[in-house]
């Protein structure tokens, strides 16, 4: 007798019955059908699910929360935004100017970064992509 382990989608054999509590009994005919399917197919208890039937899970891209100031400025230079950002910093508070001119890092969660995002009309997704691209430099 075969039992299906619904958690892992693979059958266990009958002599493992003591471990089969809560598992569904599978007939020899169904077992033969399962065995005839490629290894990457999944038995969901009623049908064999092929990989193409399963919705792929798309992981959101990793957004670095800290980049080096060098990376930030090189990226802004590459997209021709370094001069406009430098001009914007000159219009900010003296503390913001000191932060921009002396920091070794740029934090994604920095109030100055958020202020720049709003000032230039960048979306959150665009700012995240900027940090991803800058981190690659």
Question: Concatenated DSSP letters for 108-126?
Answer: TT-HHHHHHHHHHT--HHH
Query: What percent of the chain is predicted at pLDDT more than 90?
Result: 54
Q: CB-based burial of residue 33 (10 Å sphere; 0-12 exposed, 13-18 middle, 19+ buried)?
A: middle
Does this model's pTM top 0.75? no
Helix-, strand-, coil-residue percentages of the chain, each rounded to 5: 50, 15, 35
CA distance 23 to 51: 24
> Could you read off the pLDDT of 68-124 as tens digits, one per residue?
999 999 999 999 999 999 999 999 999 989 999 999 999 999 999 999 999 999 999
> Could you read off the pLDDT of 40-49 as tens digits, one per residue?
555 555 655 5
CA distance 114 to 125: 12
Please state the domain extents for the chain: 2-53, 66-135
For residue 41, the model assigns a pLDDT of 58
């Amino acid at each position: 007798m075969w039992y299906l382990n619904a958690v892992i989608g693979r059958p266990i054999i009958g002599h493992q019955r003591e471990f089969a509590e809560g598992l569904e009994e599978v007939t020899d005919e169904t077992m033969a059908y399962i065995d005839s399917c490629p290894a990457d197919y999944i038995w969901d208890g009623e049908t064999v699910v092929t990989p193409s039937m399963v919705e792929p899970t798309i992981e959101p891209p990793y957004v670095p929360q800290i980049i080096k100031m060098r990376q930030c400025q090189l990226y802004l230079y590459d997209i021709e935004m370094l001069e406009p950002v430098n001009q914007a910093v000159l219009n900010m508070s003296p503390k913001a100017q000191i932060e921009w001119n002396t920091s070794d890092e740029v934090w994604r969660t920095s109030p100055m970064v958020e202020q720049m995002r709003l000032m230039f009309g960048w979306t959150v997704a665009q700012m995240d992509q900027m940090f991803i691209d800058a981190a690659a430099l």
